[in-house]
Structure 1
């Protein structure tokens, strides 16, 4: 019984790929794998795999341009959202057993920029910054109120 040249696992005579490491065992399998990797690389480089939902839609790459293409105001919003969101989550995690930590965690999550991407597909468009800030404020106020009342 032959073995895989990459991992030395035993393989069948007619195996195209190694069952242990996935290495191609025939020239045809190697060419097929190369073509697949090339297609995937072209897809990623061409932007067609960059967060666009299947079948197009308004949540495509135009809705979320790379950081370099954003205005100064949008970059400041995005960076501030990360700082505020993760900061709130870290503070809330220090109080996890307490009831006030959960609204603070939700508020921190609500303000994070990736939430815009995650909600864009089911909602049809990304949440506006004002909506995200409002959700953060509501959760933060609930958490602070619980802290004052229960603390």
Structure 2
């Protein structure tokens, strides 16, 4: 009786995947799994435009900046600045961008996204400094 290449669980002769850890047990199963993952990634990441989460450096930076804005917004939420930081952080996140773009039916673009986010962050910083 064969055992799993990854976890050692006993497998049936015709098992292509481990019933315990789901590791492919032969080259054909690995190929089919890779094709399935690629197909699903294209379906999920194939948004209208730039807002799709495609793993690019731009998308990763948008997530980092978005989370930074959300954290800054939550940290200063009792101040007026928190609202601006929170809005900027939420607006720049790729899933939010994809939702806005799907509503508009067209991509927003890099410059309008950067401009809006910058204006919100600057307004938040100014409100934080003033108040």
Asked if these proteins are the same fold (TM beyond 0.5), I'd say yes
In structure 2, relative to structure 1, the CA distance for the partners of 1:122 and 1:63 (3 Å cut) is closer
Which residue does 1:61 correspond to in 2? Answer: 46
Structural mapping, 1:102-141, within 5 Å: 102-141=83-122
Q: CA RMSD in A?
A: 2.8
Kindly name which structure, 1 or 2, has the bigger radius of gyration based on alpha carbons. Answer: 1
Mapped pair 1:99 → 2:80: yes
More helix by proportion, 1 or 2?
A: 2
Task: State the secondary structure of the residue aligned to 1:67.
Answer: coil
Answer yes or no: is the 8 Å Cα contact 2:53–2:95 preserved in 1: no
Residue 9 of structure 1 is matched in structure 2 by none
> How many pairs does the alignment contain?
92
Q: Assess, with a 3 A threshold, how the Cα gap between structure 1 residues 137 and 149 changes in structure 2: closer, same or farther.
A: same
Question: Gaps spanning 5+ residues in structure 2: where?
Answer: 1-37
Tell me: higher relative CO, structure 1 or 2? Use CA pairs within 8 A at least 6 residues apart: 2
Q: Which runs of 5+ in 1 are unaligned?
A: 1-44, 52-59, 69-74
Aligned-partner SS, 2:84: helix
Change in CA separation of 1:66 and 1:106 when aligned onto 2, cut-off 3 Å = closer
CA offset digits 1:21-47 (Å, max 9, x no partner): xxxxxxxxxxxxxxxxxxxxxxxx977
Counterpart contact for 2:48–2:105, Cα < 8 Å: no
4+ runs of 1 displaced by more than 2 Å?
60-68
Q: Distance in 2 between matches of 1:66 and 1:92?
A: 23
Question: In the alignment, what sits opposite 1:71?
Answer: none
